[in-house]
Structure 1
Amino acid sequence: MEEPPDGESGRGARVAVLIGAAIVLVSLCCCAAAVAGVVTWGDDAYRWFTNERGDTVAVGQAGRDGAFEFTVSRIDCGVSQIGDSFVNQSAVGQFCLAEMTIHNVGKRPATFADALQRGYGPDGDRYAPDSAAGILANSEQQLFQNQINPGNRVTGVVVYDIPPDSHIAELELHESEDTAGLRVKA
């Protein structure tokens, strides 16, 4: 057998090491991108891919998500200001108020969090609640971050500040961030 001239065997080994390092680097980048995608869109992407959805009801009908039975009695948009003459907040666009009753039909206390309640426009735009406006809209009620004991029910308003040319077409209501959610068609 003939041995390669000096330097060629070392060069081949270096090329193999560089190719291996490039493969490892690309694999790490793909893993990092997958983790970033899961962190950013995980819950929504999972539901989209698996078509996992909770029940769907109309305004005025009761529906359940986790330990909570939700009944949205009405959704009013076009409100420009919430509060009273002393303490108030103006909408950036317009306020939409979703009045609802939450009944704990489970066997343990559960906490209602307005931040988990999503609103959707007619084009699928997703809106987050405006918690500060929600506190003003619920000045006499204990809706936010309130533990609801089994069998008890509370009524209150979840407030969304949305563009002035839109409206809430659908709500997705959650008992917790781990539940599928109840869809309420407006």
Structure 2
Amino acid sequence: MAEPSNDVAPPQAAPPTRTGIGQPAADGDFSFVVNGVDCGRTQLGDQYLNTKAQGVFCIVDLAVTNIGDGPQSFSGENCSLFNAEGQKFSADSEAAIYLEDAEWLYEEINPGNSLATKVIFDVPAGMTPVSIELHDSVFSGGVIVNLV
């Protein structure tokens, strides 16, 4: 007679929650609202100080609200953009320097306060982003917002 197995399967991480443009999506101490995405600019900045995309810049217009009990730092580096093939694109921290309202490199938000910002991705020309994954920190589970 076989002994009963004491092997316990490791807990599986729950897949991130999905929402859409204009809908609140919470992860940890942050609530995010994606207001829109603009893909098509090949240069950011002015005539003297600027940067050029390898492909095109996709600029995600985002509102971040601290729903926690203490200050929390937001970083666009914790965001990832995805296309229909599942390819993952990281945020372009250099390009953010050249965009006036991209205060996302490291911004502390106090409880109840919100930050209107933009996160920038350099993607191949013609690529259509289908979702963005947002995190309140590098260690959080994240939340996915559908962009199409």
> Does the 8 A contact of 1:143 with 1:154 survive in 2?
no
The structure 2 residue matched to 1:108, chosen from 70, 80, 85, is 70
Q: Kindly indicate which of the two structures has a greater share of residues assigned to helix.
A: 1
Q: Which runs of 5+ in 2 are unaligned?
A: 1-9
Runs of 4+ in 1 over 2 A off after TM superposition: 139-144
Q: Deviations over 1:17-54 (max 9, x none)?
A: xxxxxxxxxxxxxxxxxxxxxxxxxxxxx9xx935222
- TM-score, structure 2 normalization: 0.87
- Aligned partner of 2:146 in structure 1 is 185
Would you say how many aligned residue pairs link Structure 1 and Structure 2? 138
> Does the 8 A contact of 1:130 with 1:159 survive in 2?
yes
Within the alignment, does 1:162 sit opposite 2:109 as a pair? no
- Aligned partner of 1:53 in structure 2 is 15
Q: Deviations over 1:106-158 (max 9, x none)?
A: 00111111111010011100000000111222x35633201111111011110
- Aligned partner of 1:147 in structure 2 is 108
SS in 1 for 2:59: strand
AA aligned to 2:22 is G
Higher alpha-carbon Rg = 1
The structure 2 residue matched to 1:98, chosen from 60, 78, 87, is 60
> Does the 8 A contact of 1:96 with 1:167 survive in 2?
no
Q: Which has the higher contact order (CA 8 A, sep 6+)?
A: 2
Q: Kindly indicate which of the two structures has a greater share of residues assigned to strand.
A: 2
AA aligned to 2:14 is E
Structure 1 residue 87 displacement after superposition: 1.1
Identity in percent: 30
Q: Which runs of 5+ in 1 are unaligned?
A: 1-45
